[in-house]
Structures are given as structure tokens and as C-alpha cells.
Amino acid sequence: MERVLLNRFVSKGTIDKNIFGQFSEHLGHCIYEGIFVGENSPIPNTHGIRNDVVNALKHIKVPVLRWPGGCFADEYHWEDGIGPKQNRKRMVNNNWGGVVEDNSFGTHEFLELCELIGCEPYICGNVGSGTVRELAEWIEYVNSPSDSSVAQKRRLNGRDEPWRVKFWGVGNENWGGGGSMRAEYYADVYRRYATFCRNFTDKPICRIACGPSADDYRWMEVLMREAAFMFEGISLHYYTIPTGSWQSKGSATDFGKDEYYGTLSRALYMEELITKHSAIMDRYDPKKQKGLMVDEWGVWTDVEPGTNPGFLYQQNTMRDALVAALNFDIFISHCDRVKMANIAQMVNVLQAMILTKGAKMLLTPTYHAFDLYKAHQGARQIESCVIADTVGEAGCGVKAVSASASEKDGRINLTLSNLDCDSLRTVSVEGLNIAKASAKILHGAMNAYNDFDATSVCVTDFADYDVKDGKLSVRLPACSVAAFEIEEG
């Protein structure tokens, strides 16, 4: 029997709701077709933004959305995407498939999307090929209540009130596609850009520096030492590649048990990365005032056969839902340092929440994992300890069970995952005086996925548990994520 021990007297603090954030890039069919279809589309829309997609995203309470990239951000010039659509510049999207970008989805459209979803926008500025003035004026355009020429241009384009956007990224992957910079050079460039990222309202902006790729601890050290006094957050990017090889990443749906457990153990590497990066941050910022923003994470597989390799379109299985659950458990257990995370990406790209085909839309297992974890948003984390068998082959074994707990409004939220793809696991939840519980579950075979004609994975009510003597005993099916709402006696 597996055991989950909870101690509600020990907590790392509040779980920032933004760790359940999303990322949307001008890449493949994420923006165009996935989110934006244009006002004249027969697909029901609001000013060109798909209503079905917005409604689905509202249901999982998306807290924050990063845009316009990714690599795209460092070639994006925001002024190309404002004003009358017929006058907007057409550019080649060099990073993603070489397609022509007509800029019909720009700043106003993105910020309207965020208003429709009810989430905070997170705009990533162009440092790789842009200018300090461009970024400074983008912030002014979006946030200034004054009657400066830049703010007046916003009004001429139909928006009177400033949007008061808080989150601004100062470049993306500037160690690679964002300018191939060395850490020392980027730290200086960052300081220059950040000097001109100004506050225009009483809502101060949060400047997010480009952080390391995976285990580049030197990058973190240099940025913390040289530039931390000028940023409020620093990013971290880490993708889970099923095979561990960028040349042949593995199929999204066609994999065996070895690759399943290999993927989960690679996802768990996030724990080591956050622990080690946090240790560096702690030396410069012992009060933990700077956020670690994991603003790109998720499973990256080979594209679906027959699709454009530059569009990064992949299906999504129960394995993805479990990778999401493991990442959430890691972010939650480090909630004193991790203040935001953005899965890559929201629609039709990489580990997506939603896939679309014309007017059709499907919700992936990953979407449902976000749904099951949403109760943790803004709740007080409760320390948990899992005692469980190891499953999987040598070298890629993982604990059979993973968990997170939190409390809010007098109720306890508990999420449990069974990573064992073959067997039900009985989990004893101890440390609370449980009086009552209700639960929902997502489960299926490790390769199970939803397609446009049939839904095989979705959230259902769950009742295979007992409450006795203040303890909860759960019979958790193979390959599952369950969410409990608990009342104490």
C-alpha cells in the first residue's frame, strides 16, 4: 500500500495561481485557426476570436497567458500588428515553417483574448532584433494613461483605457534563437532594456529576464549576480523529450512502457532543475523576492505524420496528463520560489490543451489535468510526503504515486496520481482528520487520447475510496489523476 502523509502545520506558503499559466506563440495553428479565425469566419467568434476555445479556457481558469513567443517574439515588431488590418505588414515567420504572417492578430487582439478568457497577459518583448525604444514604447502604448503621442495612437486604434499589463518578458532564449548571447553580454543588454521598462500606472510592472535553458547553472549565476537588482522574475525553459533525443523525439501516441516511464522520469528532472536553480537564487535573494518563472515546459514529441514539421502539431495522451500532474506537483512543492509557469503551448502546438480542426475542437488529457488542479490556484500549500513503490525499468524508475495538497476557504484540496500503467494502487492518506470527501478522476490507458470523432479520456465522478477514522483510503486506477475536496471533522 502507498502512503501520502500530510502535515497542514508545514507550508511553503501560497500557491501562485500563475503556475497554471499558458503560452501561445505565432507558430503553426496556435494563433491562426486555433484561437483566431477572423470576424468573417463561419466559426462562432467574438471579433475573430473563437468562442468555443475561449469558453473551454475559462472553465480551467487560465490565470496568465504568454505571447507572442517564443522564438517568434525576437523577430516580432509590435507596430506591424496595430492599426487597420489591411495596412498591417506581412512578414515571413522564419522560425516556424516560413509561412507569411499577416499580423492580423496583434496587440489589441491578444489583449482582447485575455479579457475574454479573464486572464493576465504576459507580453514577451523583442531583444534579439528589436530596439530599446521599441520595447519602451510598446509598454507605453499598452499601459500609459497620458496623452502622449504613443498613448494617443492606442486611442486612435480604438482603445481608450490603458490595459495595465503587469508581466513583461525582456527577450526570449537570448542564449540561442534570441541573439546567441553570452550570459555576461545578455546581463548588460538586459540592464539597458530594463532601465526603460517604465511603470505608467499604480500597478507596477514585473520585468522577467531571460533565464537559463535546463541545467545552465552558470547562466543563472551570472544573471543573479549582475542583473537581479533590475528584475522581478527570471525564466527557466525545460522540455520533456520522450526519448531524450532531439533528433528523434518519439511519437506522441505510439510508445511502449519503457518510453512511457522514460518520459515520466525525464519530466521529474524538473525537480532537480528547480532545486539547483533555486539554491543559486537563494544566495543572491535569500528573502525569495524574485520569482522563478518556468515560462516554457511540457512534452515535445515528433510531429504527427503528414503535418508540417515547422508547425509542431502533436497529439496528447494520458501520458501527457501525468507529465502535467508531475510538473504541477513539483511547482507546488517549490511555491515559495516558482511564481509562474506556462505550458507550451495552449492550442494546436506541442503539449496542447486544445486541438482544433476547422470548426471542431477537442479537449486533451492535459486540459483535464489543468481542470483537476485548478482548486490549488491561490491556495495555501500543505507539505506532503509520499511513500511508494518504484515502477518502471532500471534507470527510469519513478515513484508509483505523486501528490499535492493545499487549503483554501476551509476546504482541503488533494490531487493524487497513479503513474503505474498496469496496476491499481491503494493509497492511504494520513495526517488529517478527514470527515468527508468528494472526488473526480481522469484515467485511461497510457496511450489513450481524444480525437475529433470520439472522446475516450475525460473527467468523471469518482467514488472508489473510503473514509475511516479520519483517514482516506483510495483505490486509484492505473494511469490516473484524481482530485479530492476534503472536509475535516
Residue, CB closest to ligand AHR: 70
Residue 471 is inside which H or E element, if any?
strand 471-476
User: Considering only 7-15, 201-209, 344-352, 474-482, which stretch makes contact with ligand AHR by CB under 6 A?
Assistant: 344-352
172 lines the binding site for ligand AHR (CB under 6 A): yes
Least distance from C-beta 212 to ligand AHR, angstroms? 13
Least distance from C-beta 25 to ligand AHR, angstroms? 5
| Annotated catalytic residue 140 | no
Here's the x/- map for ligand AHR, 65-104, by CB under 6 A: it reads as ----xxx---------------------------------
| Rounded Cα–Cα distance for residues 453 and 86 (Å) | 37
Could you tell me if 474 and 464 are in contact, meaning their C-beta atoms sit under 8 angstroms apart?
Answer: yes
| Rounded Cα–Cα distance for residues 20 and 86 (Å) | 36
| Cβ closest to ligand AHR, residue 109 vs residue 173 | 173
| Annotated catalytic residue 173 | yes
| Cβ closest to ligand AHR, residue 318 vs residue 346 | 346
Residue at 206: amino acid letter: C
16, 101, 120, 173: which one binds ligand AHR (CB under 6 A): 173
| Cβ closest to ligand AHR, residue 25 vs residue 302 | 25
Residues 6+ apart with CB under 8 A from 403: 4, 329, 384, 386, 414, 415, 416, 417
209 lines the binding site for ligand AHR (CB under 6 A): no
Count the neighbouring beta carbons within 10 Å of the beta carbon of residue 325.
30
Residue of 2, 120, 140, 173 marked catalytic: 173
Least distance from C-beta 199 to ligand AHR, angstroms? 27
Least distance from C-beta 209 to ligand AHR, angstroms? 14
Going by C-alpha positions, the residue among 333, 460, 471 that lies closest to residue 402 is: 333
| Cβ closest to ligand AHR, residue 176 vs residue 470 | 176
296, 320, 329, 407: which one binds ligand AHR (CB under 6 A): 296
Sheet holding 411-418, edge to edge: 460-462, 434-443, 480-488, 411-418, 401-408, 380-387, 2-7, 425-430, 471-476, 465-468
Residue at 183: amino acid letter: A
Footprint on residues 7-66 left by ligand AHR (CB under 6 A): 25
Grid cell in block for residue 291: 520569482
HSE-CB of 444 using CA atoms within 13 angstroms: 23
Residues lying near ligand AHR in the complex (CB under 6 A): 25, 69-71, 172-173, 296, 344-345, 350
